[in-house]
Chain A
Amino acid sequence: MPDITYREALRQALRYQLEHDERVFLMGEDIGAYGGSYAVTKGFLEEFGERRVKDTPISESVVVGAGIGAAMAGLKPMVELMTINFSLLAIDQIVNNASKLHYMSNGQIRVPLVMRMAGGAGSQLGAQHSHSLESWYAHVPGLKVVVPATPYDAKGLLMTAFEEENPVVFIEHTALYASKGEVPEDVYRLPFGAAEVFRAGTDVTLIGYSGSVHQAFRAAQQLEEEGIDAEVLNLRTLRPLDVEGIVASVRKTSRAIVIEDDWKFGGFGGEIVALIQEHAFDYLDAPVLRCSGSDVPMPYSMALEQAALPQEAGIVELALNLCEGVTP
């Protein structure tokens, strides 16, 4: 299998859709002539033309809303919002229209819309460009929320997103576009709601998604040196969530830590903790912990930004304490 970047994996999925489904078109800010803010759609305008690859005004709400409308009329649009920060300008469309139309119309309307956006922090982009707001979207029934961690995830999950008859919020990680991994050249699709056991282990389950999967994995490698065998789960999708997969892992290890860039208070990690205690309380040997971002607007300075985000050393420390029966 060739080693390709997360970016290239996304490109392969998009190109496949454009080549194989006439209903598919792409639109977003600077996806055409500029080539995409993260270069995911570079060259597509020249390759597929203006009908299929549309540069839009900087008008997030009408861009997403037009995507919803086009989906209502039987097309399969992909809207790129550049970053999750800008999706806040379209949140009315995503929450009030995309997520609800199938239900409100009693099943008459379908919204097969893929909304791609980049999230996450750690690149010194400052407070307004460093958000992990996936929990906001995962909160909403009617939406599906996808958070790929690897190039393999990126291609397989994006292929599945285009099979969906529902609106999909597809959140890429700004710091992962250049990361590399093995990706089959052929078409494949990864199911939503099925977590991956990224690293098998027996002592503690480290639960991550998107960028935090890699942190969890590196922490697991350090823990191995300390004689602790950590299991790392890659959730891949937050809604649907693989509750069974999480519970199965925790029943095996009896300990769990959720790792997320998100703010701790009201974040997605809290939902996972709640589900674990509902479904696996009797299997737990220790409280379920969260290693989250601090509740602070993201500062610019590297020194402060790193202090605000979960770090491997912190995960290792929490895991060691947890396995030794010491809790905060």
Chain B
Amino acid sequence: MMRQGKSGTLTQRHDGTGLSDEQVIGLLHKMMEIRRFEEKAAEMYARGKIHGFLHLYIGQEGVATGAISALRPDDYIVSHYREHGHALARGLDPKRIMAELFGKETGVTGGRGGSMHLFDVSKSFMGGYAIVAGHMPLACGLALAEQYKGTERIAANFLGDGAVNEGEFHEALNLASVWKLPVLFVVENNFYGMGTAVQRVSATVEVYKRAAAYGIHSEQVDGMDVLATHEAVARLAQRVRSGDGPAFLEAICYRFRGHSMADPEFYRKKEEIERWRALDPIEQMKRRLLADGLISGDDVARMQAEVDRTATEAAEFAEQSAFPSRESLMRDVYADGARGEEAPHA
């Protein structure tokens, strides 16, 4: 049963979401887990354990955590390439995600996908995709299939603000609307498509307004506020599930780190980053739960120790795991075992 909080605001949010105290605390815990995991990944990248592109979710934890906690466990998730947070929020094993970043055979896709292509179909986590907006048609198709089968399952499609000027964005919104597909689009507007500010390249800066052109119900939410995000997604998911067609949510957020580990961040000022850091979704939530008396300082320390351990164990697991065998190279190019030619001198 819900304890009486000191802050009316939070209690109202509580009531609105129908979340228990434990679940609300769980949201904080999950955000902390994502943050610590990403910090560990950055450390492992610096130590040469992780290669390629590594896009960290640090700063945006409120969006994935708030949104995915508001979905049913079998609702599809189709995400972009900054998707570690979504995978963790959906409950993929941190050890297997870290092993994937290391390129090990114990990774969620056995080292085939890497950071940008995490998949766990058993958890309806239908992947991270690295072509901007190229995953939106897939979300439409998954939703179409469930509509065809007559289930209540919906698809949640995460995308960035960079995706909204791609043709596939407009094609997907239009199709989803005319066919009333059960898909919820969640745009994580962190104000930069890589290093290009939204206002420099977008005719309409308020992204959620674009959905109106397709007759799709759309809203904007403070993505730095995990409860507000949860509340919005829960409501919109219900709407989508009831057969009213797609919905669109713009979550305002900010990434505290560069686009990828290779980003020197010439395009934004330190003061701007500091301004947003003051709105850190994790620190905001900690302050509120402490103020409400739902957690104590000891609880925070205990949770921090737990997520430290999770991240450390993930890195140890990844380190100790084996690389995939050379012999496995050509496996699964085709689902029927048909094989292409392996280059003999590669």
Q: Which residues of A contact B171 (CB under 8 A)?
A: 57, 59, 61-62
Q: How far is the CA of A142 from the CA of B339 in the complex (A)?
A: 9
CB distance from B153 to the nearest CB of A (A): 9
With an 8 A cutoff between CB atoms, is B144 at the interface? yes
CB atoms of A69 and B148 under 8 A apart: no
Closest chain A residue to B334 by CB distance?
A166
Question: Are the C-beta atoms of B137 and A68 separated by less than 8 Å?
Answer: yes
Complex contact B144–A102 (CB within 8 A)? no
Collect the chain B residues with CB atoms within 8 Å of residue A71's CB: 141
* Chain B: minimal CB distance from A62 (Å): 4
How far apart are the CA atoms of A105 and B131 in the complex, in Å?
A: 16
- Per a CB cutoff under 8 Å, which of B119, B141, B149, B175 touches A105? B119
B141 adjacent to A70 (CB under 8 Å) = yes
Choose from B76, B174, B332 the contact partner of A57 (Cβ within 8 Å): B174
B175 touches A62 (CB 8 A): yes
Inter-subunit contact A105/B121 (CB<8 Å): yes
Please provide the chain A residues from 72 to 120 with a CB less than 8 Å away from any CB of chain B in the complex: 72-75, 77, 92-93, 96-97, 101-112
Residue among A59, A111, A164 making CB contact with B336, cutoff 8 Å: A164
Question: With an 8 A cutoff between CB atoms, is A35 at the interface?
Answer: no
Asked if residues B332 and A107 are in contact (CB atoms below 8 Å), the reply is yes
Residue of A at shortest CB range from B181? A66
Contact A97:B138 (CB < 8 A) given known A61-B167, A75-B145, A105-B113: yes
Whether A73 contacts B145 in the complex (CB less than 8 A), given A66-B137, A92-B134, A105-B127, comes out as yes
B146 sits at the interface (CB 8 A): yes
The answer to whether A69 touches B141 (Cβ under 8 A) is yes
CA distance A109 to B121 in the complex (A): 7
**B36 interfacial contact with A, CB 8 Å:** no
A62 to B112, CA, bound (A): 26
Q: Are A240 and B145 in contact (CB under 8 A)?
A: no
- Within 8 Å CB of B333, what residues of A? 102-103, 141-142
Please determine whether B148 and A70 come into contact, CB atoms closer than 8 angstroms. Answer: yes
Please determine whether B131 and A92 come into contact, CB atoms closer than 8 angstroms: yes
Whether A68 contacts B138 by the Cβ 8 Å rule is: yes
Determine if A135 is an interface residue (Cβ-Cβ < 8 Å). Answer: no
The listed residue (A63, A109, A141, A165) touching B340 by CB distance below 8 A is A141
Shortest beta-carbon distance from B322 to chain A in Å? 15
Q: Give which listed residue, B117, B129, B172, B331, contacts A62 with CB less than 8 A.
A: B172
A166-B336 in contact (CB<8A): yes
Q: Indicate whether B203 reaches chain A with its CB closer than 8 angstroms.
A: no
Question: What residues of chain B lie closer than 8 Å to A65, measured between beta carbons?
Answer: 134, 136-138, 140-141, 168, 172
Chain B min CB distance to A92 (Å): 5
Chain B residues in 8 Å Cβ range of A110:
335
Chain B residues near A72 (CB-CB < 8 A): 126, 138, 141-142, 145
Are A104 and B334 in contact, with the CB atoms below 8 A? no
Given the interface pairs A73-B141, A102-B334, A106-B109, the reply to whether A61 lies near B168 with Cβ below 8 Å is yes
Distance in Å: Cβ of B99 to nearest Cβ of chain A: 12
Give chain B nearest CB distance to A24 CB in angstroms. 11
| B319: Cβ under 8 A from any A Cβ | no
B143 proximal to A (CB < 8 A): yes
Give the residue name and chain of the A residue nearest to B335 (CB). Answer: A165
- The answer to whether the Cβ of A269 comes within 8 Å of any Cβ in the partner chain is no
Q: In the assembled complex, how far is the CB of residue A67 from the closest CB belonging to chain B, in whole angstroms?
A: 6
Does A315 touch B at the CB level, under 8 Å?
no
Query: For B149, what are the chain A residues with a Cβ–Cβ distance below 8 Å?
Result: 73, 75
Chain B CB count within 10 A is highest, among A65, A92, A106, for: A106
The interface bits of chain A over 151-189 (1 if a CB of B lies within 8 angstroms of the residue's CB, else 0) are 000000000000011100000000000000000000000
Whether the pair A105, B109 counts as a contact (CB closer than 8 A) is yes
Beyond A65-B138, A103-B112, 17 extra complex contacts between A and B, CB < 8 Å: A56-B175, A59-B171, A62-B175, A65-B140, A65-B168, A66-B144, A69-B141, A69-B142, A69-B145, A73-B142, A102-B335, A105-B127, A106-B119, A108-B120, A108-B122, A141-B340, A144-B334
A-B contact pairs, 16 of them (CB 8 A): A61-B137, A65-B137, A65-B141, A66-B144, A68-B137, A69-B139, A69-B155, A73-B142, A97-B137, A101-B127, A102-B335, A104-B112, A104-B119, A105-B117, A106-B112, A109-B126
B residues apposed to A, CB below 8 Å = 76, 78, 108-110, 112-113, 117, 119-122, 126-127, 129, 131, 134-146, 148-149, 155, 167-168, 171-172, 174-175, 178-179, 331-336, 338, 340
